[in-house]
Structure 1
Amino acid sequence: MKKIVMLMLLSIASFASAKDIKITDVITQDDFKDFAKEFGSALLFNPMAPAEPLGIIGFDVSLETTITDISSDEDFWKKLVDDNDPFSYLPVPRLHVQKGLPFNIDVGAMYSAVPDTNIQLWGIEAKYAILEGSTLTPALSVRASYTQLQGVDDIDINTQSLDMLISKGFLMLTPYAGVSLTRVNASENSSLVTLDDVNETGYRGLAGLQFSPFPLLIINGEISQGETTQYGLKIGLRF
């Protein structure tokens, strides 16, 4: 958790100049594929919540940030940022809202606008709890999500993910873990190059911990490992 917080603070301090995503030089098909896989991973709609359902009257609203460890020293990143100096870690802050529905179903949406970049992002999710969980048994759920990149003229990207999550609460703590099947679809719209679309399927594992120090308040840390390593931090209200 300490490492996650430090990365969040470093990412805020790094916003010194605009770093718009833009194709600034000729890139190869392989470069575009590598970029799409890493950038697409940063745009995935991470769960940032345990497997247990919210319940019919349940509601969760939070501010979150995910930090993705990208290959910033690679040429394809330098050629796809307008100042040719990409972040070492790509931060994506977002507003995330979830609502509980009948039959152990939760739905949610998120929106992100990364400061000092042209990156805007929205996403939707739906989660079904196969097992609600109890004082003795864990919760088990399946979750589907979709995101769409906006604000970037040269590149179109959307992502999908299918997650299997398990969690078990202990007093104020709820650890959880999961595995994901992910999909990144990318195309370019630049006059500098003509490249084929990229459609990449991947896998990742994730683990997180939700902490509820006071009624309604939740603090959540999450780490995932797949095409890239990601760290997440969430602060919100859950009731």
Structure 2
Amino acid sequence: MNPLTKKLNSALIAGLLTVSFQAKADNNVDTINLVTQEQFKDFSENLTGIFGHKTTLPAEPLGVLGFDIGVSVTRAQTNYKLSDQSKQKDDLYLYSIHATKGLPYGMDIGIEYTQLDDSDASAVTGELRYALVEGGALYPAVSLSANYTQVNGMDAIDYHGAGVDLGISKGFANLTPFASVGMVYSNVDPKNTNVFTKEDVSLTKFSAGANLNLMIMDLSVAANRIGDQNSYSLKAGFRF
């Protein structure tokens, strides 16, 4: 393994371990400090932009023997400080572990664990993808995917969400650009309060990125936009 590969893997894994052992507070949602239902709706959309599933993989299927495993770091835009819900733009970091397995008939199934930096909040996402077109030398792969996310660790809010994506990708030697368009849905339910009611959020999603195969490992970079919030991901792992 070359020095660059070692540094990237070490940095991503160190980020995951740091999140697990640090003192957590700044990004916890322990209480709701908003005033109106409209503010809670806007905050719910902000949470959806943070926790909505991020696309980091090409559309082409892995095949029956294929695997994609890796770790990633995502810088996500936020419009609120999570701990007190004050309106201010900032960036949050999320650290993820990914595992995807190829299945027969152009199907892939994946699972992802994500930890929000400086927080008790974590998310587990399951994804199922089907290759409408498996792709080839002269034409791109096209996939349809569905995902479900459950977030735990927010004392004041119960969050779960789902999404659908239509993706496309085309390999050129060892580089595979990809893009997708879809929708993200979430159910944001306030706990221990009679002031606010549950919000059902629906936001559009756009993503674009590229996967680079370095023979000994794969690197993927991706940009996702959910509603009006952007995020940028770097993923390192193995795809075969």
TM range (shorter): 0.7 to 0.9
Report if aligned partners of 1:92, 1:113 keep a CA contact under 8 Å in 2: yes
Q: Structure 1 residues 56, 25: CA separation in 2 closer, same or farther (over 3 Å shift)?
A: same
Partner of 2:138: 136
Give yes or no for the alignment of 1:224 onto 2:203. no
Q: Structure 1 residues 232, 136: CA separation in 2 closer, same or farther (over 3 Å shift)?
A: same
Normalising by structure 2, we get a TM-score of 0.85
CA distance in 2, matches of 1:66, 1:157: 20
Give yes or no for the alignment of 1:18 onto 2:25. yes
Report if aligned partners of 2:184, 2:226 keep a CA contact under 8 Å in 1: no
Report if aligned partners of 1:53, 1:104 keep a CA contact under 8 Å in 2: yes
Partner of 1:111: 113
Count of equivalent residues: 223
Post-superposition offset of 1:200: 1.3
Secondary structure of the 2:211 match is: strand
Post-superposition offset of 1:109: 0.5
Post-superposition offset of 1:226: 3.1
Post-superposition offset of 1:103: 0.2
Amino acid at match of 1:38: N
Mapping 1:145-224, distance limit 5 Å: 145-191=147-193, 194-215=195-216, 217-224=217-224
Amino acid at match of 1:211: L
Post-superposition offset of 1:233: 1.1
Report if aligned partners of 1:18, 1:83 keep a CA contact under 8 Å in 2: no
Report if aligned partners of 2:79, 2:89 keep a CA contact under 8 Å in 1: no
Partner of 2:4: none
Larger deviation, residues 111-120 vs 43-52 = 111-120
CA distance in 2, matches of 1:213, 1:39: 35
Post-superposition offset of 1:24: 5.0
Gaps of 5+ in 1: none
Report if aligned partners of 2:31, 2:155 keep a CA contact under 8 Å in 1: no
CA distance in 2, matches of 1:150, 1:140: 33
Partner of 1:70: 78
Mapping 1:4-15, distance limit 5 Å: none
Normalising by structure 1, we get a TM-score of 0.85
Runs of 4+ in structure 1 displaced over 4 angstroms? 12-17, 82-87
Larger deviation, residues 60-69 vs 142-151 = 60-69
Report if aligned partners of 2:34, 2:85 keep a CA contact under 8 Å in 1: no
CA distance in 1, matches of 2:206, 2:34: 34
How much identity, in percent, do the aligned residues show? Answer: 30
Report if aligned partners of 2:164, 2:182 keep a CA contact under 8 Å in 1: yes
Report if aligned partners of 2:71, 2:98 keep a CA contact under 8 Å in 1: yes
CA distance in 2, matches of 1:138, 1:24: 46
Larger deviation, residues 23-32 vs 222-231 = 23-32
Post-superposition offset of 1:96: 0.8
Amino acid at match of 2:66: G
**2:127 corresponds to which of 110, 125, 128:** 125
Deviation per residue, 1:177-215 (Å, 9 max, x gap): 110111111010034x52111001111211011011224
Amino acid at match of 2:51: L
